[in-house]
């Protein structure tokens, strides 16, 4: 969970509110399609989408910008949760692994939508609104640049399954002390196979040279798809009942 969202939900639950959390979560290697996992955490009802089809690559961007707009499996599960939980209001903290169509689905169910803007994700697929020359991107039509910035985005969620399996191995070691050493060895081995999705550390300023505007690899998706992602998200943000900017 995002720590600040978890703290907020826990405080609301302690104040007597009925709080639900719909999120995209863990990735498992043997699940063929997304599933909804229900559990609770400190009085908060959690509705976790397992194996979300939308890859979460943070500031590496996305290889499928249109899927971040509309994703039928997640939308079906969200409608199911709305009918079951019947919230008075929907508070969107982040859309990692979730399509922005959830805004429209909530409105169809007559649920008001509040969104806290934690970063620039709806506008910028790499989160931070910087282009490949580390300049603030103020382009009104950024689709072509987005395709360059997202050229190295992963095309699946395979490496996200390693942390999920690692957590289960660690928990197994805690519950069964005799398997602890074997579990830790398996976790370390799995971690070595997982690619690092974090941005590479920047060199000192005096050694820094601007990266080229041309991507080293072909674009993952057409520039028009990234532009459509931007335009549709702006439309949907305008339909939110309240937008809160943290900074």
Three-state SS annotation for 168-225: HHHHHHHHCHHHHHHHHHHHHHHHHHCCCCCCCCCCCHHHCCCCCCCCCCCCCCCHHH
Instruction: Compute CA distances 138 → 59, 142, 143, whole Å.
Output: 17, 8, 12
Q: Can you give the pLDDT at residue 178? A: 63
Assessment of whether the complete model's pTM goes beyond 0.75: yes
* Distance, CA of 33 to CA of 189 (rounded, Å): 27
User: What percent of the chain stands above pLDDT 90?
Assistant: 65
Task: Please indicate, yes or no, if residue 217 is contained in any of the structural domains.
Answer: yes
* Distance, CA of 19 to CA of 47 (rounded, Å): 11
Mean pLDDT score of the chain:
85
**In this predicted model, which residue has the larger pLDDT, 31 or 135?**
135
219-244 confidence digits (pLDDT tens): 779 999 999 999 999 999 999 999 99
91-149 confidence digits (pLDDT tens): 999 999 999 999 999 999 999 999 999 899 999 999 999 999 999 999 999 999 999 99
* Counted domains in the chain: 1
| Domain assignment of residue 89, given as a range | 3-154+197-245
Q: Can you give the pLDDT at residue 197? A: 46
Chain position carrying tokens 């969200």: 78
Task: Please indicate, yes or no, if residue 87 is contained in any of the structural domains.
Answer: yes
Beta strands across the sheet bearing 113-117: 90-92, 113-117, 242-245
Q: Is the pLDDT of residue 171 over 60?
A: yes
Tokens standing for residue 153: 């985005």
Task: Please indicate, yes or no, if residue 76 is contained in any of the structural domains.
Answer: yes
Task: Please indicate, yes or no, if residue 171 is contained in any of the structural domains.
Answer: no
Q: Can you give the pLDDT at residue 166? A: 67
Task: Please indicate, yes or no, if residue 181 is contained in any of the structural domains.
Answer: no
* Distance, CA of 115 to CA of 92 (rounded, Å): 5
Task: Please indicate, yes or no, if residue 161 is contained in any of the structural domains.
Answer: no
* Distance, CA of 179 to CA of 173 (rounded, Å): 5
Q: Can you give the pLDDT at residue 222? A: 96
Could you tell me how far CA 83 lies from the centroid of its own chain?
A: 23
Q: Can you give the pLDDT at residue 175? A: 72
User: What percent of the chain stands above pLDDT 70?
Assistant: 77
Q: Is the pLDDT of residue 177 over 70?
A: no
> Helices 161-175 & 180-193, crossing angle to 10 degrees?
170
Tell me the three state secondary structure of residue 138. coil
Tokens standing for residue 203: 């060199």
* Distance, CA of 130 to CA of 61 (rounded, Å): 12
Task: Please indicate, yes or no, if residue 28 is contained in any of the structural domains.
Answer: yes
β-pairing verdict for 90-92 and 35-41: unpaired
Mean pLDDT of 63-90: 98
Q: Can you give the pLDDT at residue 185? A: 61
Task: Please indicate, yes or no, if residue 165 is contained in any of the structural domains.
Answer: no
Q: Of all helices (H) and strands (E), which one includes residue 115?
A: strand 113-117
Query: Beta-carbon neighbour count of residue 151 at 10 Å?
Result: 19
Q: Can you give the pLDDT at residue 186? A: 55
Q: Can you give the pLDDT at residue 136? A: 97
Tokens standing for residue 99: 């399509």
């Amino acid at each position: 969970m995002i720590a600040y969202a978890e703290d907020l939900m826990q405080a609301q639950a302690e104040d007597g509110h009925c709080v639900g959390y719909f999120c995209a979560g863990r990735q498992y290697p043997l699940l063929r399609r997304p599933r909804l996992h229900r559990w609770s955490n400190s009085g908060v009802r959690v509705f976790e989408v397992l194996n979300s089809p939308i890859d979460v690559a943070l500031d590496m961007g996305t290889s499928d910008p249109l899927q971040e707009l509309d994703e039928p499996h997640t939308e079906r599960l969200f409608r199911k949760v709305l009918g079951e939980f019947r919230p008075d209001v929907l508070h969107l903290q982040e859309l990692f692994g979730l399509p922005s169509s959830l805004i429209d689905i909530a409105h169809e169910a007559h649920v008001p939508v509040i969104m806290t803007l934690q970063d620039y994700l709806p506008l910028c697929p790499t989160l931070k609104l910087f282009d490949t020359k580390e300049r603030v991107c103020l382009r009104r039509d950024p689709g072509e640049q987005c395709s360059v910035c997202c050229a190295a985005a992963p095309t699946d969620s395979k490496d996200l399954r390693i942390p999920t399996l690692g957590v289960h191995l660690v928990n197994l070691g805690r519950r069964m002390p005799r398997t602890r050493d074997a579990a830790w060895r398996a976790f370390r081995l799995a971690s070595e196979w997982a690619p690092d999705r974090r941005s590479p550390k920047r060199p000192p300023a005096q050694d820094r040279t601007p990266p080229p505007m041309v991507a080293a690899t072909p674009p993952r998706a057409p520039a028009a798809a990234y532009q459509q992602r931007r335009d549709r998200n702006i439309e949907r943000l305008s339909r939110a009942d309240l937008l809160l900017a943290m900074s």
